[in-house]
């Protein structure tokens, strides 16, 4: 089936019309600042075909040559979103228009999906490809469409992360949240507290190798993502989930004694100290870490965690969240925290809550989330029973390495249909469309050891969350799962060609 994931706002296929032929004379026309998107697309096509696809400032004079061209044009569009684009494909060429480079880039992702799968290979034999005649008018529903990778429980190299960024960019994801610190490790260089990545980065779950990103590594990730119009969101998880920091620096502990580095998977046992005798060290730590992370983060967000601080007495939690969020906000960034931070009435202006309870809010999750909105903030929806990428797929086998992949605590396993069948604006009372910044699918990596396993858990489920974030809300409240599943099946050949792993357990079960 010809289709695009996430589904565009409007798409008109003209099966009877002559297609666009991408062949020998293929070239890209990309004037002005469109050039960098043209160059990126040309590099992808070069990787696929082994042939240079020239990028021109202006269209060739001859109509024959023109018809072999992909044009990327910056024009004002009648759409508020800077990611809006149009795509017109005919035997006269393929034309993407947008009012910003980001919109042009999103449009090229649609074009990439309409090209035949060998275009996603790294070494396709030179091929004459066709793209069906089509008109697309498209813009996202939500401004924030994210994916999260936990690089603490298991660590992933820069190259592995870049590869994942490329794969998620195909689904028009525009935020990449890196969970950089937790009990099992501290994964980002902080010059003023070097033992964070000395002692603090030496461990991972189950004795797996530790590791961390130098600032240069992190900047490479940020820049690679930015070329794809993806914003990196760094998370420093505080005040719980801090055993790695507490093992590196005794002065951060309430008793002044360093903790033992941790390789288990339990949560909720560690905490920064709110004691007055630790205030100087703790506040210096917070200010230094926030400043250094903000310095290498061009994006507007700083995620401070705040989840599952079960070892922090309630009054201490409120005191620490106030100090942590103030330190983060003083860098000029907008603070994001897991929804538990809604317990605090002293959050900086515009603070965003990331909701990770269920489709039916558990305990006080709904109230905490709504409280952040009442303070003037917005919400990122990551309901764990549908949007978590680490919850098992039904029927998914153990990995070739023999361990079970994925957890099941959030009402798992989660089917692709369940991941697709939810409505962000209908979950938390008092948190409707206007209060929702967007959606995010997090991948926690307690059971996920290799980048192959990462991809296996991310795809296809991320496609469901990406579509909920991008595509218009269904008028009658129900999304057409059969149509979605058919379009996702169309991506399989692209994933195969690109060497991206994905879970087929449900398809296998369906025969």
Give the residue numbers marked as catalytic: 308
Crossing angle of helices 314-329 and 279-295, rounded to 10°: 40
Q: Which of 267, 296, 367, 425 binds ligand TNX (CB under 6 A)?
A: 267
- Structural tokens at position 54: 């020239």
CB nearer to ligand TNX: give 89 or 464.
464
User: Which residue, 166 or 308, is less far from ligand TNX as judged by CB?
Assistant: 308
Query: What kind and span of H or E run contains 509?
Result: helix 505-510
Query: Shortest CA distance to 29 belongs to which of 4, 51, 61, 2?
Result: 61
Q: Is the dihedral of CA 56, 61, 64, 67 positive or negative?
A: positive
Site for ligand TNX in 5-24 (CB under 6 A): none
Which residues in 423-482 contact ligand TNX (CB under 6 A)? 444, 446
CB of 339 to ligand TNX, least distance (A): 8
Separation CA 122–CA 3 (nearest Å): 22
CB of residue 375 vs ligand TNX: minimum separation in angstroms? Answer: 20
The minimum distance between CB 150 and ligand TNX, in angstroms, equals 6
Contact pick of 317, 356, 470, 502 for ligand TNX (by CB under 6 A): 356
Q: Is 304 helix (H, G, I), strand (E, B) or coil?
A: strand
As to burial, measured by CB atoms within 10 angstroms (0-12 exposed, 13-18 middle, 19+ buried), residue 33 is exposed
Over the range 467-494, which residues count as b (16 or more CB within 10 Å of their CB) and which as e?
A: bbbbbeeeeeeebeeeebbebbebbbeb
The distance of closest approach from Cβ of residue 414 to ligand TNX in the complex, given in angstroms and rounded to an integer, is 11
Q: Output the CA angle 64-67-68, nearest 5 degrees.
A: 100
Q: Contact letters (x/-) for ligand TNX, 51-90, by CB under 6 A?
A: ----------------------------------------
Element spanning 236, H or E: strand 231-238
Q: What angle do CA 449, 235, 318 make, to 5 degrees?
A: 125
**119 versus 320: smaller Cβ distance to ligand TNX:** 320
Residues that contact ligand TNX, how many (by CB under 6 A): 10
**Residue 487 CA: distances (Å) to CA of 18, 228, 482, 493, 497:** 22, 23, 9, 11, 16
Q: Which is nearer to ligand TNX, 129 or 422 (CB)?
A: 422
Residues 391-420 that bind ligand TNX (CB under 6 A): 407
Q: Compute the least distance from the CB of residue 261 to ligand TNX, in Å.
A: 17
- When the beta carbons of 176 and 338 are compared against ligand TNX, the nearer one is 338
The rounded distance, in Å, linking the Cα atoms of 265 and 184 is: 8
Q: Does 285 bind ligand TNX (CB under 6 A)?
A: no
Site for ligand TNX (CB under 6 A): which residue of 79, 390, 440, 455? 390
Token pair for 269 = 């046992």
Shortest gap between Cβ of 124 and ligand TNX (angstroms)? 38
Q: Which is nearer to ligand TNX, 35 or 154 (CB)?
A: 154
Of the residues 155, 156, 262, 338, which one makes contact with ligand TNX according to CB under 6 A: 338
**For residues 298-327, which are near ligand TNX according to CB under 6 A?**
307-308
Residue number with CB closer to ligand TNX (124 or 407) = 407
Phi-psi region of 86 (alpha: psi -120 to 50; beta: other; left: phi over 0): beta
Torsion of CA 173, 234, 362, 347, to 10 degrees: -120
Distance in angstroms (rounded) separating the CA atoms of residues 342 and 511: 46
Overall size of the chain counted in residues: 511
Site string for ligand TNX, 359-388 (x = CB under 6 A): -----------------------------x
Closer by beta carbon to ligand TNX, 44 or else 340: 340
**Shortest distance, position 390 Cβ to ligand TNX, whole Å:** 5
Residue 354 CB, nearest distance to ligand TNX (Å)?
8
Point out which residues bind ligand TNX (CB under 6 A): 267, 307-308, 338, 356, 388, 390, 407, 444, 446
């Amino acid at each position: 089936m010809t289709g695009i994931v996430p589904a565009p706002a409007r798409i008109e296929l003209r099966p009877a019309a002559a297609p666009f032929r991408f062949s020998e004379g293929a070239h890209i026309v990309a004037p002005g600042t469109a050039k960098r998107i043209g160059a990126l697309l040309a590099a992808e096509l070069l990787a696929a075909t082994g042939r240079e696809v020239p990028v021109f400032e202006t269209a060739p004079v001859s109509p024959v040559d023109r018809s072999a061209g992909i044009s990327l044009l910056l024009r004002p569009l009648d759409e508020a979103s800077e990611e809006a684009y149009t795509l017109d494909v005919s035997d006269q060429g393929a034309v993407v228009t947008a009012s910003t480079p980001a919109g042009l880039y999103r449009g090229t992702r649609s074009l990439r999906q309409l090209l035949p799968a060998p275009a996603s290979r790294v070494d396709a034999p030179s091929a004459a490809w066709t793209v069906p005649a089509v008109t697309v008018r498209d813009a996202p529903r939500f401004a924030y469409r994210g994916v999260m990778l936990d690089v603490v429980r298991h660590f992933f190299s820069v190259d592995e992360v870049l590869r994942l960024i490329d794969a998620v960019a195909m689904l028009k994801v525009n935020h990449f949240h890196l969970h950089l610190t937790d009990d099992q490790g501290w994964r980002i260089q902080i010059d003023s507290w070097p033992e964070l990545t000395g002692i603090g980065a030496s461990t991972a779950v189950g004795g797996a190798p530790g590791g961390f990103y130098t600032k240069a590594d992190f900047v490479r990730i940020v820049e690679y993502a930015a070329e794809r119009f993806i914003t990196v969101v760094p998370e420093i998880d505080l005040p719980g989930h801090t055993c790695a920091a507490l093992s590196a620096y005794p002065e951060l502990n309430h008793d002044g004694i360093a903790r033992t580095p941790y390789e288990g998977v339990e949560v909720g046992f560690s905490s920064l100290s709110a004691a007055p005798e630790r205030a100087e060290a703790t506040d210096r730590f917070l200010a230094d870490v926030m400043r250094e992370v903000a310095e290498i983060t061009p994006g507007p967000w700083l995620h401070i965690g705040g989840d599952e601080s079960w070892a922090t007495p309630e009054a201490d939690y409120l005191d620490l969240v106030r100090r942590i969020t103030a330190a983060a906000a003083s860098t000029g960034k907008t603070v994001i925290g897991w929804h538990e931070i809604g317990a605090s009435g002293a959050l900086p202006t515009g603070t965003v809550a990331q909701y990770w309870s269920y489709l039916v809010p558990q305990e006080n999750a709904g109230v905490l989330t709504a409280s952040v909105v009442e303070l003037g903030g917005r919400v990122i929806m990551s309901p764990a029973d549908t949007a978590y990428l680490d919850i098992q797929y039904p029927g998914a086998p153990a990995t070739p390495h023999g361990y079970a992949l994925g957890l099941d605590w959030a009402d798992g396993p989660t089917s692709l249909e369940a991941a697709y069948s939810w409505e962000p604006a209908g979950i938390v009372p008092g948190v409707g469309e206007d209060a929702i910044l967007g959606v995010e699918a997090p991948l926690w990596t307690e059971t996920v050891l290799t980048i192959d396993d990462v991809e296996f858990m991310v795809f296809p489920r991320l496609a469901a969350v990406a579509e909920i974030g991008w595509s218009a809300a269904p008028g009658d409240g129900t999304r057409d799962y059969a149509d979605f599943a058919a379009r996702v099946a169309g991506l399989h050949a692209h994933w195969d060609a690109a060497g991206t792993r994905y879970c087929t357990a449900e398809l296998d079960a369906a025969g």
